[in-house]
Amino acid sequence: MYPILFRIYNFPINTYGVFLALAFLGAIFVTVRLAERDGLPKERIYDLCLWLLLSSLIGSKLLMFFTEPEYRQNPMLLFSLDFLRSGGVFYGGLIGALVTGYFLMRRWKLPWWKTADACAPGIALGNVLGRQGCFSAGCCWGKPTTLPWGVRFSELGHEVTGVPIDAKLHPTQLYESFAMLIAFFFLLWLHKKKKFSGQVILAYAIIYAAVRFLIEFVRDDPRGDILGLTTLTGLSTSQLIGIVVGVGALITLIIRWRRANARLSEPNISRAAARV
């Protein structure tokens, strides 16, 4: 793998950082295009995306602080270069972006569900590119495997991230990247065919929760234990959050689907009553 693309003097340009930047740019581009198609104000969506970018970075770092004991035990590591260069925890970034987005959409009078639907495919594209960066860096690695697509990381990757190099590992980064690439195209199609606002973002939440829950079983990198729940349940922090997010999204999707069907049936009931 190639954790470092090149150097400018002694400063390394990390592959992960480049892919992370591409992920944010790709997400913003897709979101603005879909929002514009939905009749949402383009300039406001640009502003929203920039605030979501900032809040997602902060949220991902905060959850990383709470899940990884080394940072809690030594808070000065929060100011280290390794902490600043790390991507953090994705669910922390997603939660941070959702909270910020909710308040900004209310302030700017943007329709919550319609705006969130425009964001969903872009978030999936961000997952695709972000995990390619993880694969290049060697972070978020998987358990040892004898499967033919197992990968062996380089010594440089081991130096940068600590990824084991003595065995072939599950390419968990690619599992998620390819799964979310399929999800990205599905969400683009769903955005055109959706029956009610909120259908796309809720579908994304369900899909990502399921994909991440399954992949976590073959991940093997240290990810900490928040509130001792991992030790208690045997599930990772991301799996526990994914259960809450996935089930909550599924329940909300069913409720909104039923409401949409009820609204569609109202005209038919009215016409039938008029004929009587």
Q: Which residue has the tokens 């300039």?
A: 43
CA 121 to chain centre: 11
Q: Give the ranges where the chain is alpha helix by DSSP (H).
A: 15-37, 42-67, 69-73, 81-85, 90-107, 112-137, 155-161, 172-193, 199-215, 229-233, 237-275
Question: 142 phi and psi, to 5 degrees?
Answer: -105, 180
The answer to whether 55 touches 61, Cβ cutoff 8 Å, is no
The predicted pLDDT at position 200 comes to: 98
Q: Domain residues of the chain, as ranges? A: 4-275
pLDDT digits (tens, 9 = 90+) for 17-33: 889 899 999 999 999 99
For residue 168, give the nearest of 178, 154, 185, 182 by alpha carbon.
Answer: 154
Question: 150 phi and psi, to 5 degrees?
Answer: -60, 150
Q: Which whole-number Å values give the CA distances from 134 to 31, 79, 114, 124, 237, in the listed order?
A: 23, 22, 31, 15, 19
> Does the pLDDT at position 133 exceed 80?
yes
The answer to whether 77 touches 70, Cβ cutoff 8 Å, is yes
pTM for this prediction: 0.87
pLDDT digits (tens, 9 = 90+) for 151-178: 999 888 888 788 999 999 999 999 999 9
The helix/strand/coil state of 11 is strand
